[in-house]
Amino acid sequence: MTTLVTGATGFLGRHLVDQLLARGEHVRALTRSFDLELADLGVEIVEGDFTDPEALERAVDGVSHVYHLAGKVERDPSHAHRMYSLHVDGTRHLLAALRTQKLEKIVVASTSGTVGVGTSPNFMATDDSPTVELLVKSWPYYLSKIYAERVCQDAIDDHAMPIVMMRPTLLLGPGDRRESSTGDVVLFMQKKIPSSMSGGISFVDARDTAQAFILAMDKAPVGAKYLLGACNLTLADFFKRLEELSGVKAPWLPIPDRAALFGTKLLDAAFRSVGKRPDLDPVSVDMARHFWYIDSTRAQDELGWTPRNANETLRDTVRWIERHHPEFAPRNVRKLPPAGFVPQETLDYAAKNRAE
């Protein structure tokens, strides 16, 4: 049995690969370039991407189980075409290449943001909630994921492909080397978030999400969709928990949502005029005004999935950043000799000079 993983070098992908290898599976990864770390773990590497038919053919040859995680989180509206190319066209190319294979199942990574975004604190998305393309129309990542889900549904309906779609919310936990998901926590720890917006957040541990994907491969019926979240919090409560774990003071300055969004747009325009980008962009501020609350009951009931305590996830996220981010990680500082200490060779050299 060969298991194909796309996006194996990413935050979620690495946790998934580790768990698959622990189960004794033969893992093959489609990566844009050779990854020595994965290869050292025993992963079979196929170099290429979704635009390379030959690489795709090699990647899918003989596979029976597929985890499609390849993606990129991008909030800049000017990069919408990149999101569409990767998430929509990339998914379409992969599924087309897989049609000739004898597949058990394809587990696809979508996002809770396809359905789990609202404008009211009373909002709560379920697996049967409608997609929210009108609400996320200016957020290219989420809009492209909605379209990618439709590509998957067409493949189920038209070609009877055994696809299950997973919708994790914000991924936290250790191991996010690229800060693709934990970047906002880093900004908090850098004291670069000046105020708390009025919205709400949902998050889940990347390690638990990887486990949910494997459970879906083993148990989920074809066509099923599962929201994956461990905790729903207001942003104020989220920052308060980070304060308790990191010792960094949570933002306290109250700024109305519209004023914050307007100010961020002005700042963004000023930075871009000189070829730079601010720490906080208008899309992120706009997203922070919304509520991302989701209900993961179906995944727990049907898959037997149990996410860990949310505080454990936040603690491990903060500790990992403290140990690995260059701004916080301890540096190897060379110890100075004790005061008054002079190496013996120096004393010998000085004595020799005096003698001469």
Residues 6+ apart with CB under 8 A from 62: 2, 101
Buried b (16+ CB within 10 A) or exposed e, 191-221: eebebbbbbbbbbbbbbbbbbbbbbbbeebe
Query: Could you tell me where the DSSP H helices lie in 247-343?
Result: 257-273, 282-287, 297-303, 310-324
The one-digit pLDDT tens for each residue of the chain (356 residues) are 899 999 999 999 999 999 999 999 999 999 999 999 999 999 999 999 999 999 999 999 999 999 999 999 888 888 899 999 999 999 999 999 999 999 999 999 999 999 999 999 999 999 999 999 999 998 999 999 999 999 999 999 999 999 999 999 999 999 999 998 999 999 999 988 877 778 999 999 999 999 999 999 999 999 999 999 999 999 999 999 999 999 999 987 655 555 444 344 434 444 344 455 545 566 677 888 899 999 999 999 999 999 999 999 999 999 999 999 988 876 544 555 555 556 666 666 666 666 55
Which of these, 108, 114, 136, 138, lies nearest to 126 by C-alpha position?
114
Q: Tell me, rounded to whole angstroms, the distance of Cα 89 from its chain centroid.
A: 20
Residue with tokens 């844009």: 32
Gap between the Cα atoms of 160 and 154, Å rounded? 9
Question: Is the distance from CB of 6 to CB of 70 less than 8 angstroms?
Answer: yes
pLDDT of residue 239: 93
Q: Which helix (H) or strand (E) holds 234?
A: strand 231-234
Burial of 155 (0-12, 13-18, 19+ CB in 10 A): buried
pLDDT of residue 176: 96
Determine the length of the chain. 356
Gap between the Cα atoms of 164 and 306, Å rounded? 19
Gap between the Cα atoms of 53 and 90, Å rounded? 11
Angle, vertex CA 16, rays to CA 12 and CA 19, nearest 5: 145
Structural domains of the chain sorted by starting position, each given as residue range(s) with its CATH number in brackets: 2-324 (3.40.50.720)
Reported pTM: 0.87
